[in-house]
Amino acid sequence: MDELLAGIEQLAFVRVLKASFVAYPIVNALHIMSIGALLTSVWLMDLRILGAFRSLPHAAFVALLRRTAFAAFAGALATGSLLFSVRASEYAAMPIFFAKMTLILLAGANFLVFMRRAKGGDEPAGGTVTIVAVLSLVLWTSVLFAGRFIGFLN
Amino acid sequence: MQSPFKGLRSVTLAAAVILAAATVAYAHHGWSWTQDGFFELRGKITAIYIGNPHATLDVDAEGEVWRVDLAPPSRTIAAGFTEEVAKVGDEVTAIGHRSRDETEKLMKASRIIVNGKTYDVYPDRVPPA
């Protein structure tokens, strides 16, 4: 594991990113853009599921936001991996980084529960869906906070 | 459908707790997390990192390993401090401010002195001559 992390840091493009005056802030900005889009789509989708914006058609609205959230997560994963790569060993050893990855896995598992429940496309209702939507809001917001703390804790 | 606002209330509560936790945490950006008075650390370099998001030194001072935050790489390199001018094992003097939390072996340096040369990575923050 240590060798793998050290190996990542030695990749040619990672070394360029590590020393770059321009590329690193751009990747950083794209990461912020992705997580902004992700959090916005997650919040709107979950609030709709919890009963807000009832004038908007449920199935179409949720489907659009789910696609947006997927694309945003892919962007966050790609840019986040690049930010991680410049000091892979250092970040991997941080408890807050481990907490963030755990929260992402929990949020992913929560999403799978939602997908099983929401089969059929009709407006899902009931206790489980409410709990899943609230958990989704709490987990993704916690991912954001944990991520920001990586930059502030040694 | 149950009232959505029960759920919303717990979300608001959770967000408030997280925000409260955030405001008491130590920030490594800027200088607000450091003590006001100058701090000087002498020791042997155990690791050098010159890269994004900011450069760091690990320094062994009397058996304790300190983390010394420097500037972002562009600024650190502009001050003349590169991977060529220092190596692991060199004696270093770091001058700057240590963390307000004294249980942390952590400081942010405005000036470092290695092999007889002085590098001011934050020239506007070095001690007055």
Comparing alpha-carbon positions, the chain B residue that sits nearest to A85 is B52
Dihedral angle over CA of A131, A136, A137, A143, nearest 10: 140
Residue window 88-117, chain B: list those with CB within 8 Å of chain A.
104, 106
C-beta of residue B99 within 8 angstroms of C-beta of residue B26: yes
**Closest Cα in chain A, distance from residue B27 (Å):** 5
Q: Which amino acid is at A17?
A: L
Burial of residue B110 (number of CB atoms within 10 Å: 0-12, 13-18, 19+): buried
Query: Could B51 and A145 be called an inter-chain contact, meaning their C-beta atoms sit closer than 8 Å?
Result: no
Question: What pTM, to 2 d.p., does this model score?
Answer: 0.82
Gyration radius (Cα) of chain A, Å: 18
Cα(B52)–Cα(B105) distance, rounded to whole angstroms?
A: 21
Return the ∠ at Cα A8 (arms to A91 and B104), rounded to 5°.
20
**Closest Cα in chain A, distance from residue B71 (Å):** 13
Q: What are the extents of the domains in chain A?
A: 2-150
Could you give the domains of chain B?
34-125 (2.40.50.1010)
Complex ipTM > 0.90 = no
The torsion region of residue A102 among left (phi > 0), alpha (psi -120 to 50) and beta comes to alpha
pLDDT tens digits along B78-98 = 999 999 999 999 999 999 999
Q: Which of B89, B95, B52 is nearest to B71 (CA)?
A: B52
pLDDT tens digits along B33-52 = 899 999 999 999 999 999 99
**Closest Cα in chain B, distance from residue A125 (Å):** 6
pLDDT tens digits along A111-147 = 999 888 766 555 556 788 899 999 999 999 999 999 9
